[in-house]
Structure formats: C-alpha cells, structure tokens
Amino acid sequence: MSDGPTYGFDTLQIHAGARPDPATGARQTPIYQSTAYVFRDAEHAAALFNLQEVGYIYSRLTNPTVAVLQERIATLEGGVGAVCCSSGHAAQIMALFPLMQPGCNVVASTRLYGGTVTQFSQTIKRFGWSAKFVDTDDLDAVKDAIDENTRVVFCESIANPGGYITDIEALAGIADGAGVPLIVDNTSATPYLCNPISLGATLVVHSTTKYLTGNGTVTGGCIVDSGKFDWSANDKFPSLSEAEPAYHGLKFHETFGPLAFTFHGIAIGLRDLGMTMNPQAAHYTLMGIETLSLRMERHVENAKTVAGWLESHDLVDYVTYAGLPSSPYYERVAKVCPKGAGGLFTVALKGGYEACVKFVDSLEIFSHVANLGDARSLVIHSASTTHRQLTPEQQEAAGAGPNVVRISIGIENSEDLIADLDQALNTAHS
C-alpha cells in the first residue's frame, strides 16, 4: 500500500504489505516456493551479502511470501519491522539472541506459558543466560530483580493460561529506567486487542500459530521491533552497538538506526540459528490475519458469555476471565486491551484433579489439544500437560494448578458451547 491515508485496522489486516504480483497480476500473495534467487550480476550479489542493498538471497534469510507477512504484522503492531520464524519458541530465542551474553539474565513474569517457563528456567542456561521469575503485579519486586546483568524484562500481555492482564505501561517504565528493553508476548491478545508498543514495549513477540493464523494449520513465530530503543545508549548491547566481525566491522545501530534489531534478526539470527518460517506457513497466516478482527470480536463475545455462565455454575470454584467484573484485572482491561479481554481463561473445578481429567474427557465440541487461539474451542488440563514439567509451586504461580482447566473459546455458537460444558461438568461429578 502506498504512503498517504491512514487506514483502519480492518483494511490493514487485508492489504498491509501485499501488492499484486508484478509477474502475473495475482491478487493473493503467491507462495514463493523457492530456496534461492537469481542475482542480477556479481556486483548485485556482493551488495546483498554486504547488507548494502535489501533483497532476496536464500530463503533461510528472506522470502517474498514471508516478507509480506512480516510487513503486515509490523504494521498492525505499529512497529518499524518484523522478523518471522518457525515457531513462537523460536521467536523468543531470536528476540533474546542479540541482547544476551553469557552471565546475563532476563527478568520474567511468573505468569507465563509453561513451555516458556521451561525454556527460560532450563534451556537458556545452555547459553550461559539465566532468568529471574517475579510477580509482575508487584512492581517493587520487578525493580528489585533487575541488576547490572539484566538485559530484558519479559511478560505476556494476556497471560497464558489464566488470561491475566499485565500492566505493560508500568513495566515499560521500570525497564526504561533500567536502560533495558521490555519484550511483550502478545500472542493471546493479538494487535487487535492490545498494542504493547503504544504502551512502551520495545519488542513484541508472537506465536503466529495461535490467533493470527486462527485455523490450527501451521506453526510460526514473529518478533516485531518498535524501532524506539537506543541500543547505543550504554554498553549493554554490543551485538547491536559495536562492530560486527562477520560484516567487516559494520555497526548495526549506527548503520540501520531504528531498524537495527530487525536487520540483525535476519542477517545474524536467521543466518546462524536457521529458525526459518516456510513460505506456505506464511501464506496460511496471511489468510488468517485477513479475518483477525472479525474473529477476535467473536472470541471476546463468546468468552464473556461462557465465562459468566461458568462463574455461576455450582460445580465451578472460580473463573479467571479478566472480562468478568469479579476479576481483579477487570479495571485494567480498558487500559491495556480496550477491545476486550480475549478468549483465553481458566476454570477451577470442584473435585480437583480427578474432576478436571474427567471433565476434559467428557467434552464433545471442545477439542482436547495443546493449542489455543483456534476458531474451534479448545481445552486442556495444564498441570498434566503444558505445565507438567514445572514444580507444583511454579504451576500455582502460573495459574495452572491441579484443579484448573484452560479454555480457549472459539467462534462457535455460545449456546452450543455452554450446553457442552454443562454436560461435561455434570459427568465429571457424577
């Protein structure tokens, strides 16, 4: 789309980054199923490899289909650029990669997806990195956790699994005061419900597998760069501020300015980590994003209806949906997610672990899968699956105790969802 008018979200989710194919006139973005791209001549090839010219070299680095997706997500999030990769977990590692060095730490919320907790508490140790987990509602604890080796503050906008809403603006202020970036995982909210960059986030990560694609077909991840962080303000981020030997001493921030992180993510991150998104996955996600706002409106509408019904059920202990007036996060929704609290929450059942397992096995419309953000309604018992590797204390801190079931509300008829939940609850306690 050309520069000029400021378009609305619904227009941008269809058009941003996409243009008719110059060779054929195809209106839908083609799947460029090619590993490599022909150079005009030797001089053109050298310029591309020296980062003196932007273009396509090899699909581990850049691909025309993926490039459209990157531009679209960056536009919807209000960033200057984005890098797509193979999964949400890949996006997290790629986001940390330019920022961390051996001995450095990330201050992370205790309310994170269980796989992220494991990745941060266990896997990143192999890089010589570490994580400090804190309750991000306790701002003093966040401040106290940051030390001279902290390089990142990390949270989720709408926390998985509980649907808790994070005060992004407050965390951004703390991170900014410490001279470090705030990374926000915006998977559960999507840019339609929440805009972390406008609230002060430096980087936004997504598992595009979830709501952005919305149909449960492909995995993918994305890192969006706000372009607002001064990577040269101190000596904490040498990968971006100091000379890069692999590019003859080029300094990413000095050379690329606001796009420094994005260029590093492609030229170093994808080049060396190889966490590439394939073009077919990008194509499916592009098609999913075209209906994102319509789907998210229905997710929110259904979630409010179903969560309200569950909260009043005799066999339910409590519901964590932030869109309910009973939630301690209810007032925060208007500030952080003004279009709604999303479609993800947990429900605690009377009867504990055994009741949860029986409940999950009794559902008919809800699919029992390790995913969320699908057009279909999904359910999982986190303590025995996605959060199984965590300690009981970590499970409780993440909102995934043994008596809790995670529910991802889809876009079906809410009456049908309620009927299915009702029969499953009754079966679980029979």
| d(C-alpha 62, C-alpha 60), whole Å | 6
- Comparing C-alpha atoms, which of 414, 341, 319, 300 is closest to residue 157? 341
Contacts of residue 314, defined as CB under 8 A and 6 or more positions apart, other chains included, come to none
Helix (H) or strand (E) holding 358: helix 352-362
In the sheet with 404-408, reading across from the earlier edge strand, the strands are 316-319, 344-349, 404-408, 378-380, 367-368
For position 391, what pLDDT does the model report?
79
Give the separation between CA 91 and CA 289, rounded to whole angstroms: 18
* Confidence at residue 361, expressed as pLDDT on a 0 to 100 scale: 94
Contacts of 307 by beta carbon, 8 Å cutoff, 6+ apart:
319, 321, 323, 324, 345, 347, 409
Per-residue model confidence as pLDDT tens for the chain (430 residues):
555 568 999 999 999 999 998 889 999 999 999 999 999 999 999 999 999 999 999 999 999 999 999 999 999 999 999 999 999 999 999 999 999 999 999 999 999 998 899 999 999 999 999 999 999 999 999 999 999 999 999 999 999 988 999 999 999 999 999 999 999 999 999 999 999 999 999 999 999 999 999 999 999 999 999 999 999 999 999 999 999 999 999 999 999 999 999 999 999 999 999 999 999 999 999 999 999 999 999 999 999 999 999 999 999 999 999 999 999 999 999 999 999 999 999 999 998 888 999 999 999 999 999 999 999 999 999 877 767 777 777 877 777 788 999 999 999 999 999 999 999 999 998 8
Buried b (16+ CB within 10 A) or exposed e, 182-220: bbbbbbbbbbbbbbbbebbbbbbbbbbbbbbbbebebbb
Q: Which domains does the chain have, with CATH numbers?
A: 9-288 (3.40.640.10), 292-428 (3.90.1150.10)
Residues 6+ apart with CB under 8 A from 62: 55, 56, 266
Calculate Rg over the CA atoms of the chain: 22
196 vs 137: CA distance, rounded Å:
17
Instruction: Give the angle subtended at the CA of 114 by the CAs of 109 and 117, to the nearest 5°.
Output: 50
Q: Looking at residue 3, what is its pLDDT?
A: 54
Three-class DSSP category at 293: helix
Q: What is the pLDDT of residue 173?
A: 98
CB-facing half-sphere around the CA of 9: CA atoms within 13 A? 17
Q: Partners of 106 in the beta sheet?
A: 131, 152
Maximum CA pair distance of the chain?
75
The token pair that represents 274 in the structure block? 């190889």
The answer to whether 373 touches 214, Cβ cutoff 8 Å, is yes
Residue 120: predicted pLDDT: 97
> Is residue 405 classed exposed, middle or buried when 0-12, 13-18 and 19+ CB atoms within 10 A define those classes?
buried
Sign for the CA dihedral angle at 224, 230, 234, 240 comes to positive
In this predicted structure, what is the pLDDT of residue 150?
Answer: 98
Please give the backbone phi and psi of residue 130, each rounded to the nearest 5 degrees, phi first: -145, 170
Q: Which residues pair with 388 in a beta bridge?
A: none
Phi, psi of 274 (to 5 degrees): 70, 25
* Whether 75 contacts 102, CB under 8 Å: no
* Cβ count within 10 A of residue 400: 29
